[in-house]
Structure 1
């Protein structure tokens, strides 16, 4: 009977040992799980921080781009205003030149009319002179 109780005790102790081992294994498993979770959380935090940093960088880039575009728009508006002013100046100059050309044309026309008159007078004089020479001869 002693042997049986000894065997039984050994079995119990064996079972106890197994349960102790199981408990140790369980604790180790839990520790590893916690560590893994912690490291995953840290990695997630780092990733989300990086992402946030990345987004803030993107936002900054977006802001800079926006600012550049605004500056460019303002410059373009300014340029358009200057161009319209220049166009206006060009138009005025063009109009002055046209007026001047018209006046010059009128003057030339007047001169050519005078030239024509001179020419006609000259022709009449020559014709008259020829006629006189013919009469003399």
Structure 2
């Protein structure tokens, strides 16, 4: 393995971290908005939505942490390869790939729970006898 192999991950990990951060910021803004709305007019559905969004925030934070550690391992791998230490460099590169896969696993989990929440809200629109209120502000990523 040479120095360029781990370097190929740089743009991918950077873009992934940017996407994770954008998701985090949008959901954090939505939580603040729903929290204020619930403080003004307490509603059980709003509280449940906020708690559900909290689970998503936790998943996104885990995605970010694993992605950042994967990025650090990738950089250290390049450094070790540069210093002519291919064994440890390869091990760190493999570890960075494993961490990246774990980060993507949490991303898949977060997308799944996001999709389930939207499905439940849309089901409330399809069934006019349902007591579930639809709140378009939760249609975020």
TM-score by length of 1: 0.32
Q: Compare CA radii of gyration and give the structure with the larger one.
A: 1
Higher helix proportion: 1
More relative contact order, 1 or 2 (CA 8 Å, 6+ apart) = 2
